[in-house]
Structure 1
Amino acid sequence: MVLGAIFLFSLPEHASIVMLFVATAILGTTFGIVNITLQVAVQESVAKHLIGAATTVNALLRTMGTTLVLSGLSIALNRTFTEATAHNPKLTTTLLNQISDAKALKNIPVNLIAPLRHTLFNGMHLLALISGLLLFIALFVNWLDPWKKGLE
């Protein structure tokens, strides 16, 4: 996942769609591996009569964690958009919402398409950076293994 985040972060603004597919394939595959491995580890670490409860709590905590991280990433993306609209009065939040819609793209003035795409790229680039940092922190915490996982 860390390598996928680094790959995504390193993509230039005008990267081909194929490169985005490669990045998402790496991230999707590793995300699937991590989730399944975590689920099996949780189920194997509890007594047989507690497997249902452990699986449910694991799903709940994973969902809550995802919600909190996505909220933080949304705040970061909105901050990027707010700063861009504050520095360029011709850019608006409505235009930023329309830049990713192929049908609405024809309604955007041609001279604003490049700055809007650049703003969107900067926001996505920031999200890739934050995600990569979170993955590095998680990797470091797991490497430290503060709970010793029964090795004592």
Structure 2
Amino acid sequence: MRDAQRSAGCTRRVRREGYVVAREGVAVKTAICSSWVPPTPPRRQVTAPYWTEPVPRYTYRRLTKLPSSLDELRRHTVLNLPGMLQGLRFEHTVMAPGGTVPVSVEEETGVLVFTLAGRGVMELDGDRIEVHANDLVHIPAGVPYGMHTLGGTDWVYVLLQAPVG
């Protein structure tokens, strides 16, 4: 009888009458079957990849209200999403007229600067380059660069920074 119960495959669902549902419609008293319960396999949760999840709305609100790091910047938003694109840094900057970013060197990262609106001057390795809307500038790693606005309007640009290699 006990072997028949084991081959029947007792499960944990107990009906109101005190019986346990077994494989192929066989019902066995719970007192007989309770000592042998086959282990249930662990459930594997299937979740969507992290890159398909939207950025929460509250994060967007918070990003748009970040204080500027320099006095000349009207708005400076930095967005780093851990695990999304390893090492990629995205910055959206609105620089006020007369604003300046001092010359610096990024030794380990390359930089792309895309001007959305306004005009500016970029100093690249000692050369001055004037940029305006729809201009894209690539700055390789190790090249010193600085920026300042040109004219009486805001300079709006997007900066992408990524590790070389």
Which of structures 1 and 2 has the larger relative contact order (alpha carbons within 8 angstroms, sep 6+)? 1
Normalising by structure 2, report the TM-score.
Answer: 0.19
Higher helix share: 1
Normalising by structure 1, report the TM-score.
Answer: 0.20
Higher strand share: 2
